[in-house]
Structure formats: C-alpha cells, structure tokens
Amino acid sequence: MQKERIVGKPVFRKEGVAKVCGAARYIDDFSMPEMIFGATVRSAVPRGRIVNIEFGPGIPWDEFTVVTAKDIPGKNYIALINQDWPCLADGFVNHPQEPILLLAHPDRHLLPLAVAALRIEYEELPSVHSIEESESQQTIVWGEDNIFKSYVMEKGDVDEAFAQPDIVIVEGEYSTGAQEHLYIENNGAIAAYSESDGVTLWGSLQCPFYAHKSLLGVTGLPEDKVRVIQVETGGAFGGKEDYPSMIAAHAVLLAMKSGRPVKIIYDRMEDMAATTKRHPSRARHRTAVTKNGKLLAADIDFCLDGGAYSTLSSTVLSRGTIHSGGPYYWPNIRVRSKAFATNTPPHGAFRGFGAPQSLFATERHMDRVAKAVGLTPEEFRRRNLLRTGETTCTGQAICQQINLEGWMERALDHAGYYEKKARYDRENTDSLRRKGIGLAVFLHGAGFTGSGERYLNSLVGMDATTEGRVRVLVSSTEFGQGTNTILCQVAAETLGIDYEAVEMAPADTSVVPNSGPTVASRTTMVVGGLVHSAALGLKQTLIASGLLSEPYTTAAFQNAAKSYIAKHGALCSMSRYEAPPNVYWDDQKYSGEAYAAYSWAAYVAEVTVELTTYSVTVDDFVALQEVGRVLNPVLARGQIEGGVAQGIGYALYEKVVWDRGLMVNNQMTNYIMPTSQDLPPIRVFFEEIPFEYGAYGAKGIGELPMDGPAPAILNAIAHATGEDFNAIPLVPEDIAERLATRAPIAKEMAAA
C-alpha cells in the first residue's frame, strides 16, 4: 500500500470552520423576499372518514392561502417505492397526524393559532395498533391483507435439520420498539415557484433526487422545471431520507398556490409526532444446535410494524431479513418476514434500516443458545462465526480474509472481559449493585442490497471552475457524517493536490449528477470509489492535453485547469457505477451476493444494574470493527461513538409512548436521549482489511455501530441479573417488574 498524504489523515472537516462559528446556514436561517410561512393541519384520529372541515373563529382566514388535495396539480402521492402515500388526505385518514390541509400566511406566529382553530369532524373507523392486531387480519387497513411485503429467505433444508436426533432446540421471542431520530434540527423546507423557472426547493435533506422525483409526481412538471437544493442539514440518521419529500411537496404546493416563496419549519412536537420512526419489530427464533454447540438450523419469523403506508418498509424488511443470520455459519436457515400495516404515521429509514432490529434478536438469542448447550457466549461464537470461504445465510461466499474470532478476542481483551466476568460472578451474589459484561458480534452490509447499486446506476463528476477550483460533483449530502470531508480527501489524494484545493459543488439537482441517495453506508465506499475514478479521469485529461506533467504542485494543477478551460470551455470528468465482479443477487430466490462488502464488529458492554432502583448504567463500552480502511480517523471514530450512543439510547432510554397510533411523549422532556452525564467512555478500535472495490479500500461504517450496542447491553444485563430480557427499550420499570419478586430487599417486603 502506498503512503498516502491525505487519505487516512485527520484533516479538518471541510465545513468545520463555518460550523464552529455558527456561520453554517440551515434551512431556518434563510429568508427570501416576499417569503411567507406554511403549516400543516393534521388528523386527530387514527383512521376515519373526514366528514366536515370548519374554519373556526378569531382568525383572518381571507389572508391565508389554503391548500387541500384538490389543489394538487399532479398526482396525490409521494413517490418512494409504491404509490400509496398520499401527499394530502383526500376524504380519508389512516393515521393520527396525517396531513389534511396546508395553510400559509406572512405572520409566522399566527400559523399555530390558525392550525388550532380548524375544526375537523371525522367518522372514525376501526384501527389497528400492533403487529399482532394487524397480523390477525380482523380489521384490514391496507391492501387485501395488511401486509406491505413479505419474503422467504432459505438456505439448505431447515425442516430436515430440525428432525435430526440428538440436537438441542432453543426458542425465543424478541421485540424492539419504535425509535425517534431526534436530529437536533427539525424538518424544514423553503419552496419558490414561478411559471418561467418552475419549482425550486431548499431543504434539510439527505437525498435531493428523491425529493426531485417526488415533486415531479406531485407537480406534474417536467424534470428541468424542478430544482432541489440541499442546505446545511442538522442531523438526519435516515429521518431525512424519505420524509423530506413530504414536507417539500407541501411547501411547493403552498408556493404554487400563493405565488410567494413559502417556508415550512416543524417545531419539535410536530416533528416527533408526525414524521417517521424506526420500525418496531418482533422476531421469533427457533434454533437447532448440536450438543457441541454447532449451529444446525434456524427457523426465524421476523415482522415489522410499517405504519399506515408502505413507504420504505419493503427495503427495511429486506435488510432486516438478510441480517437475521448474523455473522454465523448456518448450514440451514429460513427466515419468513413480513411488514405489516398499522394506523400510525409511517415508519421509515433509520440508521441500520432493519438490521438493528433483527441483529438484536439474533445476538440475544445466541447467548441463550450458548447457555442451553452449556457454553460461554464467547466459546459458542468461536464455534460458529463465519470464516473466509464459508457462505452466509444467503449463500454468499465470504471472499475477504476475515478473522471474526480474532477480532472478537481483541475486543474481549480491550474490555478486560475474562477478568471482569469472573470478578462480577464472585462479587454479585451479595451486592445491591450487580455488574455484568456482555458481547455482541455482528456485521453490516455496505451499499444497496443485491442489485440495488446497479439499479441506482450512480453517476459522479469532477470538474474545475474558471478560477481553477476543483469541485466534486455528487448528490451525496453532508449531514454530520463527513461526506464533504471524505470525498474531498479522496479527490485530493487521487489528483495529487492539496485538500484545501478541492471543494464540493452544491448539492443542487441542477448542478450535480445523481450519485444515489446518501444512505445505506454507501457514500464512502461506492460514491468515494466513483470520485476516485472521476478524479483519475480529470487528471488524465489534463496530462493528455499536455498542459500538465508529473510531478506537479497544486498551483500547477490549478493553472493547467484554467488553461484547459480557456481553451476548451469546460473541464469535467464523469464516472458511472460498475458493479464489482461476481456480485449476483437473485431477487426471486432471495439468495446470492446480498452486499458487495460487509463490515464486521465485536462490541462489549459493561453494565451495573442497581437493585434499589433497577436502573442500568453502562460503565464501559468497547467497539471494535473491521471497516476496510479508515479514511479519516477523527471522523470515523466520531461516527462509531455517535452510533454507539444512539444504540445505548435504543436499548435503555428511548421509549415511544403510543396512544392509538399517536406518540404522546413528543417532547424532549419526556422522550429520553442520553445527556453528557449518561454515557460511558466509548472506546473505539479499528481493524483494516482493504476492500478492493471501495475508495482506497474503505467499506461502510455509518450504520454498523447501531447494530451492536443493544444486544451487547442486554447480554450484559443477563449476566448481571441472571434474567433474560428480550425486549427493548428496557427501562427500569420493566426490570423491576421481573426482578422485584427475586431481590433480597423485596423478600422482606413480601414477608412484612
């Protein structure tokens, strides 16, 4: 491997100076002449027919722009995968908070009063509020059977395996709750419309071209009359992958009707109640294992609650299904999975995208299987972790040189696992503070599943301006994870110029090509790879032109670029995605190469369970992962630490309280994420086995850290307490309910 100058170095965040100065401008920091403000009137019931809409007293309604479904010039749906997600409810609502009509007015403060003054009458219809209710099909709320999507993924012969003699069978049911993204910046958009220019939409979003596509449908305008521009985005985590298409459409409709630019900014209560969350899940595992602890077969039933419309449930389900196998070798495995409709705001993309749900179940279950055959969690895993050359649960051969056992051992070592485990076992018996240590080993596929990347057909460009500034042309966006920095590092490294000499072109659909959505841990690996090849093309163009010869300085490069442009008009190099060789995926059989690359990880959590209050503190956390190549150590570390923090929240704090499909704890005071006083030291370690088809060897890391914390923590709690908890979020109330009859303190209470 060559010695790199920029890649692998902790260069500063590209937009970092602006951010630390408060000069970075997010959507609510923008204003335009003549701009007015928009707001959304939403359903108060989970399902029903809209009977009457009354504009209440005390509001100057004649000053308002009002938009209903009737005003939609194009089609009344937000295009994602299917066409079932209404932009505005038209006569019927299928979830609380469903948008019904839109209001706009110049006085921002008047809008909430106006929204509150609208009286809507409904004829309520029966509604469904859990996977079980939906599954029973007693009330059908979507399609013929409430099922958005189902898969069967099979390898080997599961039924035969279960029929073998002398095996141990372990069953378990695991569930995960909804999780709110809680990006600190709420959703927002500004739209402007004119007959001549069409629609321009500025937004806090991950995927400009997703919003672009949805707006084409809603407005009926041609492609070149819709322009989407991403502005600085204050956190996303998947919550701004799908939802922004909705708020964008709303802002656009108001702009078209009013003839003025319209800004819509959600406040926290609205954002939490009305927008997407992580899909709740239920997984039922039935596992056959030999008495020696070798996995023989799994029969898994995996279900998601998708909310009222299908949105991205089919793809979340897909990833969750495929990750059900975890990092293990399964001779036989069957996963039957379904995504169900319920009457709650549609659930959507959230970092991990189905894998945190299914991996929670699998990794919790593996500890229980280990116990059933009398093995420690680590020894059991040693006997079953995938090795190079073995096939995954989709029959994909692992071609990379992996060393899961070695990485697990290293993580255990960093955590002081063996010594602590023995010590806690000794010290726990008499203590009111029970300590535990737990492990999770897992994987995360980088890039789109199966043929997804081919389908995306990403296009990336590099160009130079007349001043000689080199630009990266991608629709991949920055929202904290480091897109700007990483892609500029890759470009600068490849071009052989200074990092400071490369900049990102604005994420503006009229300027940049479609490099695919900024999701699925694909930006560094896939888009970075395309930036690399586009940069090579740019360099080769200049050298071939005779204007540049190696070795050259940054200044020489810039001069050559200027000269080239002066001579030829433009300097640009494009690169189109090509799938790595031997990546074949069968969508019908659900088998083959599910992902071009996997990142691998072993996480260890140390907890204290305090029996006086049944609260759990995570005291230490080790996160070790193999990621191909770390392109920026500070950014990579930050991604893992942040993901682990979110995972800790997912496991122990972040409970959505529902009332018939409505989130009722929709404020930051009662939806609990960890503060600076709630987290352990998070100790991050990287292993690198460069991936040939990723930029400079990199694979994906954005979502990986979301998968491990919850099962590691619950495994640690099982060690500390001797009790299996199999549902998250696990709050002290749940622990108290189970343990109270067992703890010494309570024995006295019972005796009293």
Chain residues 98-157 in contact with other proteins, contact rule CB under 8 A? 109-110, 112-113, 116
Q: Which is nearer to other proteins, 157 or 737 (CB)?
A: 737
426 Cβ partners below 8 Å, 6+ apart? Answer: none
Min. distance of Cβ 615 from other proteins in angstroms? 7
Min. distance of Cβ 212 from other proteins in angstroms? 22
Stretch that binds other proteins, among 22-30, 43-51, 243-251, 312-320 (CB under 8 A): 22-30
Question: For the chain, what is the total number of helices (H) and then of strands (E)?
Answer: 21, 28
Q: Where are the beta strands (DSSP E) in 141-275?
A: 147-155, 167-176, 188-194, 198-203, 226-230, 262-265
Closest CA to 735 of 722, 748, 747, 751: 722
CA–CA separation, 2 and 21 (whole Å): 36
Closest CA to 535 of 699, 696, 700, 698: 696
Q: Which is nearer to other proteins, 2 or 31 (CB)?
A: 31
752 interacts with other proteins by CB under 8 A: yes
20 interacts with other proteins by CB under 8 A: yes
Q: Burial level of 665, CB count in 10 A (0-12/13-18/19+)?
A: middle
14 interacts with other proteins by CB under 8 A: no
Tokens for 31? 């204003």
Q: Where are the beta strands (DSSP E) in 383-527?
A: 433-446, 459-464, 470-473, 502-504
CA–CA separation, 337 and 334 (whole Å): 10
Min. distance of Cβ 513 from other proteins in angstroms? 24
Q: Which is nearer to other proteins, 235 or 580 (CB)?
A: 235
Binding residue for other proteins, selected from 354, 480, 702, 711, defined by CB under 8 A: 480
Binding residue for other proteins, selected from 53, 69, 679, 727, defined by CB under 8 A: 679
Q: Which is nearer to other proteins, 168 or 731 (CB)?
A: 731
Binding residue for other proteins, selected from 184, 422, 566, 570, defined by CB under 8 A: 184
Binding residue for other proteins, selected from 678, 688, 689, 690, defined by CB under 8 A: 678
Q: Which is nearer to other proteins, 58 or 551 (CB)?
A: 58
Tokens for 533? 């090849």
Min. distance of Cβ 234 from other proteins in angstroms? 3
**Binding-site size, other proteins (CB under 8 A):** 85
- The helix or strand, by DSSP H or E, that contains position 591, with its residue range, turns out to be strand 591-592
Q: Which is nearer to other proteins, 172 or 647 (CB)?
A: 647
Stretch that binds other proteins, among 82-90, 231-239, 448-456, 585-593 (CB under 8 A): 231-239
Binding-residue pattern over the window 266 to 305 for other proteins, x denoting contact by CB under 8 A:
-xxx------------------------------------
CA–CA separation, 221 and 650 (whole Å): 41
Tokens for 162? 């279960």
Q: Which is nearer to other proteins, 269 or 566 (CB)?
A: 269
Chain residues 577-636 in contact with other proteins, contact rule CB under 8 A? 611-615, 634-635
Cα-atom radius of gyration of the chain, to the nearest Å? 27
User: What torsion do the CA atoms of 427, 432, 433, 437 make, to the nearest 10 degrees?
Assistant: 60
Binding residue for other proteins, selected from 235, 452, 496, 690, defined by CB under 8 A: 235
Chain residues 644-673 in contact with other proteins, contact rule CB under 8 A? 644-646, 653, 657, 664-665, 667-670, 672-673
Binding residue for other proteins, selected from 622, 682, 710, 716, defined by CB under 8 A: 682
Closest CA to 242 of 271, 216, 214, 223: 214
Binding-residue pattern over the window 26 to 65 for other proteins, x denoting contact by CB under 8 A:
x-xx------------------------------------
Tokens for 245? 């298409």
Closest CA to 86 of 140, 40, 53: 40
24 interacts with other proteins by CB under 8 A: yes
Tokens for 571? 């300097």
Min. distance of Cβ 119 from other proteins in angstroms? 16
Min. distance of Cβ 457 from other proteins in angstroms? 29
Closest CA to 331 of 495, 471, 162: 162
Binding residue for other proteins, selected from 154, 185, 626, 703, defined by CB under 8 A: 185
Closest CA to 352 of 81, 601, 103, 186: 601
Beta bridge partners of 304: 281, 339
Q: Which is nearer to other proteins, 592 or 638 (CB)?
A: 638
Q: Which is nearer to other proteins, 169 or 746 (CB)?
A: 746
Min. distance of Cβ 748 from other proteins in angstroms? 5
Q: Which is nearer to other proteins, 236 or 535 (CB)?
A: 236
737 interacts with other proteins by CB under 8 A: yes
Q: Which is nearer to other proteins, 547 or 644 (CB)?
A: 644
CA–CA separation, 731 and 270 (whole Å): 25
Stretch that binds other proteins, among 319-327, 461-469, 475-483, 507-515 (CB under 8 A): 475-483
Closest CA to 362 of 324, 390, 393: 324
Tell me phi and psi for residue 322, to 5 degrees. -65, -35
Chain residues 713-732 in contact with other proteins, contact rule CB under 8 A? 732
Residue type, 514: N
Report CA-CA distances (Å) from 515 to 1, 243, 495, 503, 519. Answer: 28, 20, 20, 16, 11
